[in-house]
Amino acid sequence: MEARRYAVLGYPLGHTMSPFIHEKLFAVHGVSAVYEKRELPPQALSEELPALRSLSGFNLTIPHKSAILPLLDQMDGKAALYGAVNTVKCGECLTGYNTDCVGFLRALEEASIPLAGKILLCGAGGAAHMMAFEAALAGGTLTIAARPSGIPRAEQLAQAIRQKLPEAAICVCTYDSLEGDFDLLLNATPAGMYPHPDAMPVEEKTVRRCKAVFDAIYNPRETMLLRTARQNGAQCGYGMPMLVWQAAAAQEIWNGCSFTAAQVSPVIEQANWEMERVFQ
């Protein structure tokens, strides 16, 4: 049987972990597939569409997650809610999905971190957008923190959530005006990511006021934020399980298969090793 063809589209793509992770996941179910990376500048997305239709499916990352929306035939509910698509299934029509949220919720669950109570979200970009909607859907009391320059973007995000979920309890503030304790801190900024492992999005005194911390960063595995939280006895979760589970969820959509934790856990470990091999 001819191998099915998939791709990840982004710009720039650099050293994306997606081909490595998808190849390991295809092997779990014995799917014969080729997964390639296609570096595609923003203006080239619509021109590439006929070629993309010949694939079985594809993933999208920055800057294409919202730009793909008008090119799709249909979308699932979560993708429509966030206005962001990271997975497309091809066929007679192009259908968009968002599996980042599946990865995020699954990673929290595996780290035994409840998405509840007073939630502090650092950042207002793509990952933060999805996390903010999920926190609001879960009924959390959400504070979106940003640098002064990022406050307008954070306000826009808060407004987008209030429009779709009018009951949401949500406020916006700068990092230096944060007050009180939090049940959960979510980091959706690159602060602390390779090659700047000593950075944190918030001050240490804020981390010490959080019962649980989830960092979307997967390189390094333990960021300064997570190290500080762990030393303070907080429940901690990191980004690689989110990345691998969003890929597993994409394959479930493409191939109608289903993954168990026992099948995905070794892939998370292999992805950690691969990342360390490449970057350290």
Q: Which span (69-77, 117-125, 133-141, 256-264) binds ligand NAP, by CB under 6 A?
A: 117-125
Distance of CA 199 to the CA centre of its chain: 20
10 binds ligand NAP (CB under 6 A): no
Q: Between 127 and 234, name the residue whose CB sits nearer to ligand NAP.
A: 127
221 binds ligand NAP (CB under 6 A): no
Rg (C-alpha) for the chain, rounded Å, is 19
Q: Which span (4-12, 228-236, 240-248, 272-280) binds ligand NAP, by CB under 6 A?
A: 240-248
| Closest residue to ligand NAP: CB criterion | 125
201 binds ligand NAP (CB under 6 A): yes
CA proximity to 114, closest of 237, 21, 224, 223: 237
243 binds ligand NAP (CB under 6 A): yes
Amino acid at 51: A
Taking the complex as a whole, the smallest distance from the CB of residue 76 to ligand NAP amounts, in Å, to 18
Taking the complex as a whole, the smallest distance from the CB of residue 252 to ligand NAP amounts, in Å, to 16
211 in catalytic set: no
Taking the complex as a whole, the smallest distance from the CB of residue 117 to ligand NAP amounts, in Å, to 22
Residues in a beta bridge with 142? 119, 170
Reading the block at residue 26, the tokens are 């295809």
Contacting residue, 94, 217, 234, 236, with ligand NAP by CB under 6 A: 217
Contacting residue, 10, 103, 140, 220, with ligand NAP by CB under 6 A: 103
CA proximity to 92, closest of 53, 45, 58, 60: 53
Distances (CA, A) of 245 to 20, 175, 267: 14, 30, 10
**Which H or E element spans position 122?**
strand 118-122
Residue 17 and residue 269: Cα distance in Å, rounded? Answer: 13
Taking the complex as a whole, the smallest distance from the CB of residue 106 to ligand NAP amounts, in Å, to 11
Residue 111 and residue 216: Cα distance in Å, rounded? Answer: 13
Contacting residue, 153, 207, 211, 224, with ligand NAP by CB under 6 A: 153
Q: Which residues contact 140 (CB under 8 A, 6 or more apart)?
A: 115, 116, 117, 118, 119, 169, 183, 184
Burial 219-239 (b: 16+ CB within 10 A, else e): bbeebbbbbbbeeeebbbbbb
Residue 26 and residue 18: Cα distance in Å, rounded? Answer: 12
Q: Which span (18-26, 37-45, 51-59, 236-244) binds ligand NAP, by CB under 6 A?
A: 236-244
Contacting residue, 28, 190, 253, 270, with ligand NAP by CB under 6 A: 190
126 binds ligand NAP (CB under 6 A): yes
Q: Which span (2-10, 27-35, 158-166, 211-219) binds ligand NAP, by CB under 6 A?
A: 211-219
- List of residues contacting ligand NAP (CB under 6 A): 62, 100, 103, 123-128, 146-147, 149-150, 153, 188-191, 193, 199, 201, 216-218, 239, 242-243, 246
Q: Known catalytic residues? A: 65
